[in-house]
Structure 1
Amino acid sequence: MTKRLKSIMDSVLKKYSIETTDYQVGQDNIQKWGFDIHNPVFGTSAGLIILFLAALLFIDPETAKQGLNSLKNGILNDFDVFFMWITNFFLFFSLVLMFSPLGKIRIGGKNAKPEHSRVSWLAMLFAAGMGIGLLFWGVAEPTAYFTNWWGTPFNVEPYTEEAKALAMGATIFHWGIHGWAIYAIVGLSLAFFAFNKGLPLSIRSVFYPVFGDRAWGWLGHVIDILAVLATLFGLATSLGLGAQQATSGINYVFGTEGGIGMQMGVIAFVTAIAIFSVIRGIDGGVKLLSNINMAFAFALLVFVAFVGFDVVTVALPETIMAYFGNIVELSNPHGRDDTTWMQGWTVFYWAWWISWSPFVGMFIARVSNGRTVREFLFAVIFVPTLMTIIWMSIFGGIAIDQVVNKVGELGANGLNDISLTLFHVYDALPFSSVISVLSIGLVLIFFITSSDSGSLVIDSITAGGKVDAPVPQRIFWATVEGAIAAVMLWIGGQEALQAFQSGVVATALPFSFVLLLMCVSLVKGLRTERSIY
C-alpha cells in the first residue's frame, strides 16, 4: 500500500472517529431513566423483542418449530458445501494472518499493555465461548458417534475400533481450530477498529473501510440490530435449554421431580447472579466468575483423569492422532458418502459457530486490548482447542470405555438421554454424588458467565459502541434475556426453544457473507499500520 493510500485511509478513519464521538453524544443517543440509549438500535431491537414475545402468545410453537426447521434443513442441505469451504477459508485466513508481518501489530497501539493477566484472559474467552459444551457434549457427542445414535462419520461400522477413533477425532474437529477461527476473525476485527482506530466497539465499525459513512447510517443500524437480536435470542435459547438440562441433572442427582417450576427457578437464579455480575463489570464480575469456574473445572478434570488413568493414557494420544489424521478428510465436503451425518453435525456446527460469532467475538475483543495480532490469533484458536482435546479425550474416552466394557448405564443401555449422559458416566466413578453436584454448579456458572458477558456485549451495541453502559441499562438487558427464556419455556417449552434454535442457525447464512467482507475490511485496516512496525 502506498504512503498516499495509507494517509487517505488514516485520515478517513480519524475523521470517522471524530464524527463517532459527536454522534454518540448527539441527537441519536438519549440519556433518560439512567440509560444511555443509541436510539435507532436500542428502540428497534426492543420493539422487535416485544413483537416476538407477543407472537409467542398467538402462534402455535409446534407450527413455528416446523416452519423454522424446514428453513434450517433447507439451508443445511443446499449450502452444505458452501459452509464447509468458507469455514476452511476462515481457518486458512487466520493462519496466514498470524504468520504474516501483520501479526506484529499490537491491538491498542504499539505501546498498549494488556488489561488482564494471560490466565484471566484465557479463562474469560473460554468460559464465554464454549465452556458449557464441554460438560454435556464432551461425553455425549463421541458416544453418539461411536454407537450410531444419529449416524457415524464416513458411515463406519459402529462399535468398532475405527468408529472409536473417528468418534473422538470428529468431536474435536467440531470443537477445535475451525470454529475458533470464526470467533477469532470477528474478535480481532472489532478489537482492531475499536482500540487502534478509535471507532465504537460495534459490529458496524468493522465495515467503515468498505462502506464509508453509510456504516454510520441505516446500513450500520441494521447490522447492529441483527447482532443484538442474534446475541440475545441465541443466549436466551441456550439459557432455556440449559435450564432444562440443569433441572434434569438436579432431578437425577437428588431424586426430585421438578418440572417447569424448577426450570423457572434455575433461570431466575442464573439471571439474578448475572445481573449482580454485570453491575460489577468485567473485573469484578465476569473475570472473577471465569477464574472460579476454571479452577473448579480443572479440579474436576484432574480427579476424573486420575480415577480413569488407565483409560486416559490410551485415549489422549489416540484422540490427538485421530483429530489430525482425519482433519483433511473431515474438512472436505466432496466425495462423501456420509452426507446426512455431515449436514446434521458438521454443517450444523459451522452454522452455529457463525451465528454466535457476533456475541463471542465482541466479548473477546473487549478483553483483548494490548495483545499482538499473532498472540491473539494463536491464543484464541489453539489454546481452547488444546483444552478441548484434553477434556474430551478424558471424558469422552471414559464414556466410550464404559460402553465397550458394559459398565454402568451407558454399558447397559447405551445413549438414551443426552442431558444425563455425564451423570451416567459419573455413576460408575468414585464419589459420583460429589462430582455430580460440582458439575451442576459448573453448568450454572458457565451459563452465568455466558449470560453476563452477552449482556455486556448488548449493552455496548445499544449504547452506540460505548464500553461502559450505565448500570440500569446493564440490568435491563440481563433481565430481558432471562425473561425471553422464561417466556419461551412457559408458553412453548421444548418446542419453542427448538424453534428459535433453528432460527438462530438460519441467520448464519447471511452472516457468513458478512464475515467474508469482514476479512477484506480487516486486511485493509491492518495494512494502514504496517509501516509503524
Structure 2
Amino acid sequence: MDRLARRLGLKTDPTIFFVSAGLMIVFLILLLAMPGPIGRVFADGRDWIVSSLGWFFILGVTIWVLFLIWVAFSKYGNLKLGKDDDEPAYSNLSWFAMLFAGGIGTVLMFWGVAEPISHFSNPPFAGVDPYSIDAARDAMSISLYHLSIHTWAIFTLPGLAFGFFIYRYDLPMRFSSVFYPILKERIHGPIGKTVDIFAVLGTLFGLAVSLGLGTSQIAAGLNHLTGVSNNTMLRVVIITVLTLVATASIVAGLDKGVKRLSNINILGAVALMLFVLFAGDTVFLLRQLIESTGVYFQDVIRLAFWNDAMAQFGKEEGWGWQGGWTVFYWAWTVTWSPFMGVFLARISRGRTIKQFVGGVLVAPSVFTLVWFVTFGWSAMELDGIGGEGGPISAAVGESVPTAIYDFLENYPLATLLSGVAVVIVALFFATSSDSASLVVDMLCAGDAESGPVRQRVFWGISEGFLAASLIVLGGEEGLQTLQQVITVMGLPVFVLVFAMLFMLLMGFRMESKRARGRRQPGDPAAAALASSGSEDALAATGPLAADEDAVGAHADRSGTPHQQTDPRSGAQGPS
C-alpha cells in the first residue's frame, strides 16, 4: 500500500486511507446490489439498539454536558489547546461562523419549523392535548433540548480531547491520538489504525445522512417554487450538482473555501431569521425569547434523564417516540463528532479550555434558542395555539422537508423568501461537505494541513456518492431509512467518544504532574494549574503518572521532530 500511495502521489497513511476507501466502496456496491436485504439489516439493528440501548445514549450525552461544565470551571480551564504562547488563529466572528456552519446549519433549516410543529401536533407526554398551550411549551423545550446544549456537547467533548492531546503533546491529527494514555505507541499500530478507520467511516455516514436531509429540503423547495416533480431522481441530481460545488471549495482549502462560505452562509441565515422576527409578531416573539429560556432551563433536567421507562405499561409503541427523535439525534450527531472534533480543534488552537467550552457549547446554543423561538413559535402561532391545527401542521404531517416553505407562505415576498431558503440550505450543504472532506483527509494523513488536491477531491466525491446511494436505497421512505442507517453506525462511535471523557481525566492528571515537576516563576502552564491553590492528589497515581515523559518525548522516538504547522502563518517547524 505504501508503494501504491507513492505512485498515486498521495500524502496520507496508506492503511487508513485505502482500507477506509475500500470498505466504503464495498458498502456502496452491496447497497446498490442488494438494497432490500441491506435495508432490513439496518432496520433490525436500529430496532435492537433503540429498545436495548436507548437509555445509554440519553444518559451518556447528559454526562458529557456535566463533565464539560465541570472542566470549564476547574483549574484546568486555563490550559490552552496548544503551546502556552499560542494565540487564536481566527477572530471570534469567523470562528463562530465556521464552527456553526460546519456543524448543524442544515439541521436548523430542516427542523426549525418542522420539529416544534411535530411535537405541537403530536405531544409525546401523556395528558397533553394537541395544539394546546402546554403542547406548544413542551414542543419548544423538547426542540431546544435536542438541538442546543446537548447537541453541542457531542461536538465539544471530542473537540476538546483532540485539541488537548494533539496540540499539547505533538501527536498526529487522528482520532486514535486521544487514546494515547492507554494505547501509547500502539496508536501507530493496528489498534490505532482500526480506531481511525471507524472514525473515517462514521464521519462519512454521518455526513451522508445530513446531505440526504438537506437534499430532500432543497428538492422540496424547488418543487414548491417551480412545480418540478420531487422524486428520487431530482434529489440525486441536486446532490450531484452540490457535491461539485463543495469539491470546488475543497480545492480552495480551509481559509479560502470553508471560511468564505461559512461567513456568507451565516449572514444569509441571520438575515432570514431577522426578517421573520420583524415581519411577524415581534413583541410576542421577544416575550417568548425570555420566557422560553426560563422554561427550557426548568425542563432540561427532566428531559435530560427522561427515557420513557413507563411506556411499556401505557403505550404499544414503547421506545417509538424517543427512538425516532432523541436516540436518532444523538446517534446521528455522534457520527459527526470525529469530523467536528478535528475541525473544531483545527480552528481553535491557542484558545483556553474555558474559552473553547464556552464558545463551542454556549454560543451556538444561544443562536439555536433564538432560531427556534423565531421560527418555532411563529409557526405554532400561525397554526393556531389552542385550536385544532392549521395548514403548517398538515404540511408537516405530509412531508417534513416542505415545512419551512409552507411556513414562509404566510409572509410578504413569500416566493423570494423560499428562494433564499433554498440557497441557504444549499450553502449549508456545501459548507458541511467541504469541511468534512478536509477533516477526513486530516484523519487519514494525521496532519493538520491539507493533503494533495486529489485526496480531498476523492473524499468530497465519495461523500456525494454515499449520500446519493442512501437516497436511492430509501426511495420515498428516505428519512426513515436514514434514521435506521445512522442509528446503527452511531453506536460504535458513541462508545469511542464516551471513552474520551476518561482519556481527558487521565490527561489532566498527567498535566498536573508535569506542571508540578517544572513549577518555577513565569511558567504559564504551572501558573494556570496552581491558580486554584490546590494540589491534584490523584496526579501521582494511575498509568499516566509514570508515562508523562514518554508523551513529551513522543516526537524524539521517531528519529525526527514531529512537524506542526502554525495556522496563522502556514510555516512549519519542529514543535
Q: Same fold (TM over 0.5)?
A: yes
- Change in Cα spacing, 1:408 to 1:508, as seen in structure 2 (3 Å) is closer
Kindly indicate whether the alpha-carbon contact (under 8 Å) linking 2:285 and 2:377 is maintained by their aligned counterparts in 1. yes
- Whether 1:317 aligns to 2:290 is yes
- Change in Cα spacing, 1:229 to 1:494, as seen in structure 2 (3 Å) is farther
Deviates more, 1:318-327 or 1:284-293: 318-327
Per-residue CA deviations over 1:469-506 (Å, capped at 9, x if unaligned) read 11111111111111222344346635577545423222
Kindly indicate whether the alpha-carbon contact (under 8 Å) linking 2:140 and 2:373 is maintained by their aligned counterparts in 1. yes
- Change in Cα spacing, 1:174 to 1:497, as seen in structure 2 (3 Å) is closer
Aligned partner (choices 81, 84, 87) of residue 107 of structure 1: 81
* Matching of residues 350-389 of structure 1 within 5 Å: 350-389=330-369
Q: Counterpart in 1 of 2:72?
A: 98
Kindly indicate whether the alpha-carbon contact (under 8 Å) linking 1:201 and 1:467 is maintained by their aligned counterparts in 2. no
Kindly indicate whether the alpha-carbon contact (under 8 Å) linking 1:41 and 1:462 is maintained by their aligned counterparts in 2. yes
Kindly indicate whether the alpha-carbon contact (under 8 Å) linking 2:328 and 2:486 is maintained by their aligned counterparts in 1. no
Q: Distance in 1 between matches of 2:453 and 2:91?
A: 25
Unaligned 5+ residue runs, structure 2? 312-317, 516-524, 529-575
SS in 1 for 2:398: coil
Kindly indicate whether the alpha-carbon contact (under 8 Å) linking 1:147 and 1:414 is maintained by their aligned counterparts in 2. no
Kindly indicate whether the alpha-carbon contact (under 8 Å) linking 2:113 and 2:404 is maintained by their aligned counterparts in 1. yes
Q: Distance in 1 between matches of 2:28 and 2:373?
A: 41
Q: Distance in 2 between matches of 1:194 and 1:206?
A: 8
Deviates more, 1:426-435 or 1:334-343: 334-343
Q: Distance in 2 between matches of 1:52 and 1:432?
A: 42
- Whether 1:279 aligns to 2:251 is yes
Post-superposition shift, 1:241?
A: 3.4
Q: Counterpart in 1 of 2:463?
A: 481
Deviates more, 1:395-404 or 1:352-361: 352-361
Kindly indicate whether the alpha-carbon contact (under 8 Å) linking 2:198 and 2:493 is maintained by their aligned counterparts in 1. no
* Matching of residues 57-456 of structure 1 within 5 Å: 57-59=32-34, 61-148=35-122, 151-153=123-125, 156-257=128-229, 259-308=231-280, 309-333=282-306, 336-337=309-310, 340=319, 341-404=321-384, 409-410=391-392, 415-456=397-438
Post-superposition shift, 1:336?
A: 5.0
Q: Distance in 1 between matches of 2:38 and 2:478?
A: 7
Post-superposition shift, 1:194?
A: 1.6
- Change in Cα spacing, 1:416 to 1:164, as seen in structure 2 (3 Å) is same
Post-superposition shift, 1:349?
A: 1.8
Q: Distance in 2 between matches of 1:177 and 1:412?
A: 30
- Whether 1:31 aligns to 2:13 is no
Deviates more, 1:459-468 or 1:27-36: 27-36
Letter in 2 for 1:297: A
- Change in Cα spacing, 1:38 to 1:178, as seen in structure 2 (3 Å) is same
Q: Distance in 2 between matches of 1:105 and 1:38?
A: 31
Deviates more, 1:249-258 or 1:152-161: 152-161
- Change in Cα spacing, 1:497 to 1:422, as seen in structure 2 (3 Å) is closer
Kindly indicate whether the alpha-carbon contact (under 8 Å) linking 2:307 and 2:322 is maintained by their aligned counterparts in 1. no
Q: Distance in 2 between matches of 1:498 and 1:307?
A: 35
- Change in Cα spacing, 1:200 to 1:346, as seen in structure 2 (3 Å) is same
Per-residue CA deviations over 1:127-177 (Å, capped at 9, x if unaligned) read 1110111112111001000101xx524552222111111100110001121
Q: Distance in 2 between matches of 1:490 and 1:147?
A: 30
Q: Distance in 1 between matches of 2:271 and 2:232?
A: 32
Q: Counterpart in 1 of 2:549?
A: none
Deviates more, 1:459-468 or 1:293-302: 459-468
Q: Distance in 1 between matches of 2:473 and 2:303?
A: 40
The structure where helix makes up a greater share of residues is 1
Deviates more, 1:212-221 or 1:28-37: 28-37
Letter in 2 for 1:195: Y
Kindly indicate whether the alpha-carbon contact (under 8 Å) linking 2:242 and 2:430 is maintained by their aligned counterparts in 1. yes
Aligned partner (choices 43, 53, 65) of residue 28 of structure 2: 53
Q: Distance in 2 between matches of 1:125 and 1:154?
A: 38
Post-superposition shift, 1:333?
A: 2.9
Q: Distance in 2 between matches of 1:259 and 1:330?
A: 37
Q: Distance in 2 between matches of 1:492 and 1:424?
A: 24
SS in 2 for 1:246: helix
Q: Distance in 1 between matches of 2:473 and 2:332?
A: 25
- Change in Cα spacing, 1:494 to 1:366, as seen in structure 2 (3 Å) is farther
SS in 2 for 1:367: helix
Post-superposition shift, 1:57?
A: 3.1
SS in 1 for 2:264: helix
Kindly indicate whether the alpha-carbon contact (under 8 Å) linking 1:172 and 1:389 is maintained by their aligned counterparts in 2. yes
Letter in 2 for 1:320: T
Letter in 2 for 1:247: A
- Change in Cα spacing, 1:494 to 1:193, as seen in structure 2 (3 Å) is farther
Deviates more, 1:398-407 or 1:50-59: 398-407
Q: Distance in 2 between matches of 1:460 and 1:123?
A: 21
Post-superposition shift, 1:303?
A: 0.7
Q: Distance in 1 between matches of 2:86 and 2:245?
A: 33
Post-superposition shift, 1:413?
A: 6.3
Per-residue CA deviations over 1:88-132 (Å, capped at 9, x if unaligned) read 111111011000010000111111011111111111111111011
Q: Distance in 2 between matches of 1:155 and 1:29?
A: 64
Q: Distance in 2 between matches of 1:521 and 1:91?
A: 16
Kindly indicate whether the alpha-carbon contact (under 8 Å) linking 2:16 and 2:196 is maintained by their aligned counterparts in 1. yes
Post-superposition shift, 1:357?
A: 1.2
- Change in Cα spacing, 1:28 to 1:193, as seen in structure 2 (3 Å) is farther
- Change in Cα spacing, 1:474 to 1:88, as seen in structure 2 (3 Å) is same
Aligned length: 505
Q: Distance in 2 between matches of 1:228 and 1:432?
A: 41
Kindly indicate whether the alpha-carbon contact (under 8 Å) linking 1:234 and 1:501 is maintained by their aligned counterparts in 2. no
Post-superposition shift, 1:30?
A: 3.7
Kindly indicate whether the alpha-carbon contact (under 8 Å) linking 1:240 and 1:486 is maintained by their aligned counterparts in 2. yes
SS in 2 for 1:159: coil
Letter in 1 for 2:442: S
- Alignment RMSD (CA, Å): 2.2
| Structure 1 segments of 4+ aligned residues over 4 angstroms from their partners | 26-29, 334-339, 405-408, 411-414, 494-498
Q: Counterpart in 1 of 2:560?
A: none
Identity among equivalent pairs (%): 36
Deviates more, 1:64-73 or 1:366-375: 64-73
Letter in 1 for 2:330: W
Kindly indicate whether the alpha-carbon contact (under 8 Å) linking 1:289 and 1:449 is maintained by their aligned counterparts in 2. yes
